[in-house]
Amino acid sequence: MARQVVGATADGTPINAFDIGTGRLRAQILDYGAILRSLSYADATAERTELILSFDDVDAYLRDNAYLGIVAGRYANRIAGSAFTLDGTRYELSANETPNHLHGGTLGFGRRHWRVLSESEDRLCLGYHSPDGEEGYPGNVEVRAEFCIDDERLILTLQASTDAATPMNLTNHAYFNLAGDAAIPASAQWLQVLADGYLPVADGALLPTGEIAPVQGTPFDFRQGRVLEDAGYHPQLDLAGGYDHYLVMSDRRAGVVLFSPHSRIRLTLSSNQPGLQVYDGHQLDAAYPQLGRGICLEPTAYPDAPNRSGFPDAILRPGTTYLNRIEYRVERDA
């Protein structure tokens, strides 16, 4: 395990970077935001390809509003009107995407300092205590994010417990461009997702309408796998400015496959979550043109589930443990 101080927060708290993995797959994680800053893969010649977008300047993470690599929570994705009612009580949340609440609020979990629980050359476990009332949420919550490199896999295990009922939905927000070259469009990647349905959004606020629509005959059909740039026109893509939609998995055990024909690197993602938010990074163009685009593949609960009785429950209650186990398997095709 290599650890180094790479910066500091505004109050002077050191930001540490932790390098894990000694083989083909290696990762770097920050204890600020539990950010996955680097995920790289080496071929047989030991030449490394960076698989995710990142900032060279650590201070850029303090100013970032695109959530590069963070652990998003308490509730990843959006909650309509920055409010929800739980067990008869209405809770008002921070409105950081006015009037809605996005990725846990003004700071969320991605702009907090996490403590180190354990570390080794292939594993890092970080913890965060979220107090009752933080961002408007009820309950004291203990969160763990464990990153483990196992051969050619990165396994990210996200867990949480609470002393009062609260919404919980954690994920990682890395932007993938497996080509390892900002000059090669991320939309040139090939994506396969075994999802029969998707959640249409109502308007540019990107909140779901509540309908689960079939992917058949739409640009949201990735069941056979295809290049992302072959989307064509669809009113939903026009509303969102591109892909920023939730796909409902047909089989939670099935892997999501992202492949770069340029690097020949294949990423297979699996999780225990019911679906996947696919975001093509189109808002990066204005904010960070030097980065290019990356594809976010975010296994989560349904967006706005605390306000949607027809969606699967996303409430964590005392005596139970929240778990999102995300596995990223990386390999290079011959």
Which is nearest to 69 in space by CA: 28, 106, 99, 104? Answer: 28
Residue 2 has a pLDDT of: 82
How far apart are the C-alpha atoms of 250 and 177, rounded to whole Å?
Answer: 25
What pLDDT, on a 0 to 100 scale, did the predictor assign at position 247? 98
Q: Is the pLDDT of residue 230 over 90?
A: no
pLDDT (average), residues 307-333? 97
Q: What percent of the chain has pLDDT over 70?
A: 100
Q: What is the pTM of this model?
A: 0.97
All residues at 6 or more sequence positions from 45 whose CB lies less than 8 Å from its CB, including other chains: none
Range with the lowest mean pLDDT among 190-194, 251-255, 293-297?
251-255
**Tokens 């690097």 correspond to what residue?**
263
Active site residues: 173, 298
CATH class of residue range 2-332 = mainly beta
Average pLDDT, the chain: 96
The predicted pLDDT at position 272 comes to 97
pLDDT, tens digit (0-9, with 9 covering 90-100), for 69-112: 999 999 999 999 999 999 999 999 999 999 999 999 999 999 99
Quote the CA–CA distance of 102 and 110 in Å, as a whole number: 12
> Can you give the pLDDT at residue 1?
64
From 91-95, 136-140, 173-177, 254-258, the region with the lowest mean pLDDT: 254-258
First CA to last CA across the chain, in angstroms? 31
Instruction: Please give the average per-residue pLDDT across 226-230, as a whole number.
Output: 93
Q: How many angstroms separate the Cα of 302 from the Cα of each of 53, 123, 164, 171, 264? A: 25, 29, 21, 12, 32
Mean pLDDT of 101-124: 98
Q: If you average pLDDT over residues 229-252, what whole number do you get?
A: 93
Please give the average per-residue pLDDT across 107-129, as a whole number.
98
CA distance 267 to 149: 14
- Domain locations in the chain as residue ranges: 2-332
Residues in the chain: 334
Alpha helices in the chain (DSSP H): 59-63, 235-240, 284-287
Confirm if 270 and 156 have CB atoms less than 8 A apart. no
Structure confidence at residue 255 (pLDDT): 86
With pLDDT > 90 as the criterion, what percentage of the chain qualifies? 92
Query: Which candidate, 281, 207, 274, places its Cα nearest to that of 247?
Result: 274
CB atoms within 10 A of CB 263: 20
Comparison of pLDDT for 131 and 230, the residue scoring more = 131
Binning pLDDT at 50, 70 and 90, where does residue 251 land?
confident
The DSSP secondary structure of 195-235, one letter per residue, reads EEEEE-BSSTT--B-S--EE-TTSTT--SS-EETT-----H
Q: Where does the pLDDT of residue 334 fall: very low under 50, low under 70, confident under 90, or very high at 90 and above?
A: confident
